[in-house]
């Protein structure tokens, strides 16, 4: 019931009417960024989905912000994104010198949720101005995909899989737990700096299973599928208004993990493990990527950036250009973004407790 309530809260926050800006923001005037440079920090490598997301938005943001400042995407990978997030925590907003904004991901949210001792950042100190939903697609080499019997993955249980991973406490938690629930033997190679590096391992034959968030899949994996060197296995799905997992709107022809699990003997879509997986899926994907202004940003600055992203969303061509680069997911600002942030940074205690124990038992990861 707790998980169902959490899912419904998330879908309601995405669907609710825009109540977009707080009263203080609504009364404020925006700021002028003429001649300034906005540095958009991404705490991953330049090969992953976060890079593609930021690079998509950066020129549009430059056009939409007052004064048309230069928007530069800067990559700061390390420690599964906690390095960049810890750095951003210490930044202060100063619109007289331009400004720094930050792009987080589920791999930044999960260490925060799990109490990772390396976390020195606090989401409550930051000012969210955009929340982007996304999805994820797992894929295989053709010879292994041929072993599946429709959606039944049982025949893959005799395969020794290698997976390039940023770390078990990052967004990779979602695929690692899903594959374990299917009974697959997946050995992660930890330490890559971004999911794009995992795709490169797959392309080089160093890994034989991988997953990418939607933007990276569309850009980097679709050509592999078209060339016949990769085959989609499943998506993580999407949430409907009732909080149920349904097919991803960007990939409606690919089955969800829930469907594959239901078709695979021994995989259960109920109980403690499923509830934990679903809770972290909800936290990691429906509001997976967010843009923040640092601590101390004025109401005027928050208003300016929120309105800029609203302006981008209102473009006549936005639905078309975003679908091809990001997929078909909610892009939220104002009150919707704040609601998405709340859902992305909270999970039921029971789900957290399960995952903390699983991480220690499975990977020897202690979060104390």
Question: Is residue 108 domain-shared with residue 201, that is, in the same domain?
Answer: no
Question: Is residue 149 domain-shared with residue 262, that is, in the same domain?
Answer: yes
pLDDT of residue 360: 96
What 3-state DSSP class applies to 52? helix
Question: Is residue 91 domain-shared with residue 224, that is, in the same domain?
Answer: no
131/111 Cα distance (integer angstroms): 19
pTM: 0.84
315/331 Cα distance (integer angstroms): 13
For the chain, 368 residues long, give each residue's pLDDT as a single digit of tens: 445 444 544 444 444 433 344 433 333 468 999 999 999 999 998 988 899 999 999 999 999 999 999 999 999 998 889 999 999 999 987 765 668 999 999 889 999 999 999 999 999 999 999 999 999 999 999 999 999 999 999 999 999 999 999 899 999 999 999 999 999 999 999 988 888 999 999 999 999 999 999 999 999 999 999 999 999 999 999 998 898 999 999 999 999 999 999 999 999 999 999 999 999 999 999 888 999 999 999 999 999 999 999 999 999 999 999 999 999 999 999 999 999 999 899 999 999 999 999 999 999 998 86
Residue 261, sorted as left (phi over 0), alpha (psi -120 to 50) or beta, turns out to be alpha
Question: Is residue 143 domain-shared with residue 268, that is, in the same domain?
Answer: yes
Tokens of 8: 């419904």
Domain boundary pick from 281, 316, 337: 281
pLDDT of residue 55: 96
How far CA 231 is from CA of 225, 228, 236, in Å, comes to: 6, 7, 15
In a domain, 47, yes or no: yes
CATH number at residue 148: 3.40.190.10
CATH number at residue 43: 3.40.190.150
Question: Is residue 165 domain-shared with residue 241, that is, in the same domain?
Answer: yes
Residue 154, sorted as left (phi over 0), alpha (psi -120 to 50) or beta, turns out to be alpha
pLDDT of residue 35: 92
In a domain, 361, yes or no: no
**Closest to 110 (Cα-Cα) out of 175, 163, 183:** 175
18/316 Cα distance (integer angstroms): 20
When divided into structural domains, the chain yields a total of 2
pLDDT of residue 94: 74
In a domain, 365, yes or no: no
pLDDT of residue 97: 62
Question: Is residue 227 domain-shared with residue 180, that is, in the same domain?
Answer: yes
In a domain, 195, yes or no: yes
How far CA 198 is from CA of 23, 140, 242, 322, in Å, comes to: 44, 13, 34, 24
Question: Is residue 150 domain-shared with residue 240, that is, in the same domain?
Answer: yes
What 3-state DSSP class applies to 322? helix
* Contact indicator for 15, 76 with CB cutoff of 8 Å: no
Q: Spell out the residues 6+ positions from residue 319 whose beta carbon is closer than 8 angstroms to its own.
A: none
Question: Is residue 266 domain-shared with residue 165, that is, in the same domain?
Answer: yes
Question: Is residue 104 domain-shared with residue 24, that is, in the same domain?
Answer: yes
Q: Count each helix (H run) and each strand (E run) in the chain, helices first.
A: 16, 13
> What domain range is 242 assigned to?
136-281
Sign of CA dihedral 283, 287, 292, 297: negative
* Contact indicator for 365, 359 with CB cutoff of 8 Å: yes
Question: Is residue 276 domain-shared with residue 140, that is, in the same domain?
Answer: yes
Helix-helix angle 2-15:272-284, to 10 degrees: 20
The CB density around residue 84, as the number of other CB atoms within 10 Å, is 24
Task: Give me the half-sphere count of Cα atoms (radius 13 Å) on the Cβ side of residue 42.
Answer: 23
Question: Is residue 148 domain-shared with residue 257, that is, in the same domain?
Answer: yes
In a domain, 290, yes or no: yes
Question: Is residue 257 domain-shared with residue 145, that is, in the same domain?
Answer: yes
pLDDT of residue 6: 47
Sign of CA dihedral 168, 174, 175, 179: positive
In a domain, 358, yes or no: no
pLDDT of residue 190: 95
pLDDT of residue 194: 84
pLDDT of residue 14: 43
In a domain, 357, yes or no: no
In a domain, 360, yes or no: no
């Amino acid at each position: 019931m707790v998980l169902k309530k959490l899912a419904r809260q998330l879908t309601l926050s995405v669907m609710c009417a825009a109540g977009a800006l707080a009263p203080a923001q609504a009364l404020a005037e925006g700021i002028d960024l003429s001649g300034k440079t906005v540095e958009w920090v991404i705490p991953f490598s330049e090969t992953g989905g976060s890079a593609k997301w930021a690079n998509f938005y950066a020129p549009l943001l430059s056009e939409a912000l007052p004064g048309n400042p230069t928007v530069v995407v800067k990559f700061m990978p390390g420690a599964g994104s906690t390095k960049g997030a810890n750095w951003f925590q210490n930044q202060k907003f100063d619109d007289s010198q331009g400004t720094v904004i930050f792009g987080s991901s589920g791999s930044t949210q999960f260490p925060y949720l799990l109490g990772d001792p390396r976390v020195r950042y606090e989401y409550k100190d930051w000012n969210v101005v955009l929340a982007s939903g996304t999805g994820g697609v797992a894929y295989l080499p053709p010879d292994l995909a041929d072993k599946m019997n429709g959606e039944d993955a049982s025949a893959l249980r005799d395969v020794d899989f290698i997976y390039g991973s940023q770390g078990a406490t990052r967004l990779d938690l979602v695929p690692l737990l899903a594959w374990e629930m299917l009974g697959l033997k997946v050995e992660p190679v930890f330490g890559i700096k971004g999911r794009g590096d995992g795709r490169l391992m797959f392309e080089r034959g160093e890994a034989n299973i991988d997953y990418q968030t939607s933007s990276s899949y569309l850009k980097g994996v679709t050509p592999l599928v078209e060339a016949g060197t990769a085959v989609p296995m499943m998506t993580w799905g999407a949430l409907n208004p009732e909080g149920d997992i349904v097919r991803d709107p960007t990939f409606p022809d690919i089955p969800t993990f829930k469907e594959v699990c239901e078709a695979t003997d021994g995989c259960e879509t109920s109980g403690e493990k499923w509830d934990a997986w679903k809770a972290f899926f909800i936290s990691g994907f429906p509001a997976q990527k967010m843009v923040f202004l640092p601590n101390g940003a004025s109401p005027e600055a928050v208003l300016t950036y929120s309105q800029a992203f609203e302006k981008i969303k209102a473009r006549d061509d936005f639905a078309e250009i975003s679908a091809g680069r990001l997929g078909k997911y909610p892009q939220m600002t104002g009150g919707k973004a704040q609601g998405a942030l709340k859902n992305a940074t909270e999970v039921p205690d029971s789900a957290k407790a399960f995952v903390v124990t699983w991480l220690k038992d499975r990977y020897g990861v202690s979060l104390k």
